[in-house]
Amino acid sequence: MKNMTDFPSQAPLLEVTGLETAFEIDGELYNAVDGVSFNVKPKQVLGVVGESGCGKSVMSLSIMQLLPKGIGKIRNGQITFNGQSLEKLDDKKMNKIRGKDIGMIFQEPMTSLNPVFTIGFQLAESLHNHFKLSKKEARGKVIELLDQVGISRPERVVDEYPHQLSGGMRQRVMIAMAIACKPKLLIADEPTTALDVTVQAQILELLQGLQETNDMAIILITHDLGVVAETCHEVLVMYAGEVVERADVVTLFENPKHPYTELLMRSIPRLDEEEEKLASIEGIVPSLKNMPRQGCKFVDRCPKAMEECRTITPRLSENLPGHEVRCLLYETSWNREGMSAK
């Protein structure tokens, strides 16, 4: 596991503060991301974990300013990248940052490969968006990139079409595209979810290698805590649009605090126990319209829920230095504030 002491007091590369992103449903706004704050330091790998529907993708789309227009919007908060407020930039300026300074690999078809163009053409296009290169130079650079992401015989693959490649190879090409301009930050939203376990491991290894050679920070989004163990320095656990726990990776695995994190730990698939059925967490993440308005959002699924959890809204508070938890079990002040505990 990786050590957070590699990142002493460096200024953050990305700073997200109080981010609230809402969708309009039947004329009303509902927060899919509800007051999320975090930092990413240069070269840091931050894991963002949580079940499907917890707001991970909406959070990354918010950073990239790629929310569906007229449907989703940032209501509150600041997103500062390299000292620039991204939420204030116009499309043109944001386009310059996207791909060049911040790369992304998303699962959504929007960023997947176009079946009618060769790999080389598509990769060259992303280079041309940001650099002036001759055709020959671009081809050379594309071959170099394919090689860098571990594609063998790149001089052949450059002229092939996406359907001629395996899923793992296609994901490598997507990664090549995302890192073509050497971004300082890569956002990888479930980059291995669609791949089988062996290929998953290879892709994670590739990302880690690239993080080191390119001195790149990564936000690695996944629903699988197992994926973050080897790859990340720090982890945010998200539930229902909120951060419920934040810690460095060693602390989180050795000493998980939030009952949700504990349950996620128990549902990590283990290679050596293929027979054993995964303990999945009972119940579902509440939909935006059914989000509890007060109390803890996890209360209905929490094995440790107390009566007070329905009425007192837990705050994200520091349990130990650098370890934050949003749970009444670890809040010492709630019963002293007049909301008597039984």
115 forms part of the interface with ligand ADP (CB under 6 A): no
58 forms part of the interface with ligand ADP (CB under 6 A): yes
Partner from ligand ADP, Mg ion, none contacting 47, C-beta within 5 to 8 A by type = none
47 forms part of the interface with ligand ADP (CB under 6 A): no
In single-letter form, the type of residue at position 20 comes to: E
291 forms part of the interface with ligand ADP (CB under 6 A): no
Q: How many CA atoms lie within 13 A of 26 on its CB side?
A: 2
Binding range to Mg ion, per CB under 5 A, among 49-57, 149-157, 283-291, 333-341: 49-57
The stretches of the chain forming alpha helices (DSSP H) are 56-64, 91-97, 119-128, 135-148, 154-157, 167-179, 197-213, 225-231, 249-254, 259-266
Question: Which of 171, 220, 201, 180 shows the shortest CA–CA distance to 100?
Answer: 180
162 forms part of the interface with ligand ADP (CB under 6 A): no
| CB closer to ligand ADP out of 72 and 154 | 72
- Strands 316-320 vs 323-326: parallel, antiparallel or unpaired: antiparallel
DSSP state at residue 312: S
Question: Which of 266, 247, 263 shows the shortest CA–CA distance to 255?
Answer: 247
60 forms part of the interface with Mg ion (CB under 5 A): no
Asked whether the beta carbons of 230 and 204 are under 8 A apart, the reply is yes
Binding range to ligand ADP, per CB under 6 A, among 51-59, 257-265, 298-306, 334-342: 51-59
62 forms part of the interface with Mg ion (CB under 5 A): no
Partner from Mg ion, ligand ADP, none contacting 54, C-beta within 5 to 8 A by type = ligand ADP
Among 21, 31, 44, 57, binds Mg ion (CB under 5 A): 57
**Distance (Å, whole) CA 305 – CA 299:** 6
288 forms part of the interface with ligand ADP (CB under 6 A): yes
Among 47, 55, 154, 183, binds ligand ADP (CB under 6 A): 55
Q: Which pair of tokens denotes residue 197?
A: 């376990």
State the residues that interact with ligand ADP by CB under 6 A: 23, 32, 50, 52-58, 68, 71-72, 287-288
